[in-house]
Amino acid sequence: MFTYQEQEIGNSYEQFSKMLSSQVASKEDMDKANMSVARIENCIKTVTDRLRSMIGKLEQNEEAKTKRTEQMQNLLSNLVSAVNAPAQMPLPQPFQSTSSINKQMSIDNADSASTAPDSEDGVRKRTDRKFSIKSLTKFGKKSLD
């Protein structure tokens, strides 16, 4: 692509210089020369814009590569220092939950024994409590005594 545009730029300059060197130039020749100059300017602009964008991309890629390289070097040095560092804290002992579960079971058994009597024939019986519907309906009523 660049070689084609470079050739076009060269051809346009040659045509323009020939027209200027010959002192006899018609209006058509001058219009052609102006169009050639306009094309040359456009070609130069596109080539420089493309070169700038390519340079920018290369710089960004180079920056990204150096950043990645630095990050990898830091990570590697951290890993090496972590491997070579002495152990500072002992590893925690595994959690032993059997004693706490046994304590909880004994508490639960003691609570259940005090609230519910042993069942006979698989049926639990209520304890003797003095709740009745009459005592519950008397709440809020005035006694007639």
47 burial (CB, 10 Å; 0-12 / 13-18 / 19+) is: middle
Query: Using CA atoms, how far apart are residues 19 and 17, in angstroms rounded to an integer?
Result: 5
Structure tokens at 12: 């346009």
Residue 8 reports pLDDT greater than 60: yes
Residue with tokens 């094309």: 39
Q: How confident is the model at residue 60 (pLDDT cuts 50, 70, 90)?
A: very high
Torsion angle (degrees, nearest 10) of CA 33, 38, 42, 47: 40
Are 44 and 9 contacting, i.e. CB atoms less than 8 angstroms apart?
Answer: yes
Q: What is the pTM of this model?
A: 0.38
Pick the closest to residue 43 from 1, 103, 97 (CA basis). 1
Residues in the chain: 145
| Most confidently modeled range among 51-55, 95-99, 128-132 | 51-55
Domain boundaries, the chain: 2-83
Residues 86-106 have a mean pLDDT of: 60
In this structure, what DSSP letter does residue 85 have?
S
Q: How confident is the model at residue 81 (pLDDT cuts 50, 70, 90)?
A: confident
Residue 145 reports pLDDT greater than 60: no
Residue 87 reports pLDDT greater than 70: no
Q: How confident is the model at residue 61 (pLDDT cuts 50, 70, 90)?
A: very high
- 23-43 pLDDT, tens per residue? 666 778 778 888 888 888 898
Which pLDDT value is given to residue 57? Answer: 94
Pick the closest to residue 119 from 127, 129, 128 (CA basis). 127
Which pLDDT value is given to residue 49? Answer: 93
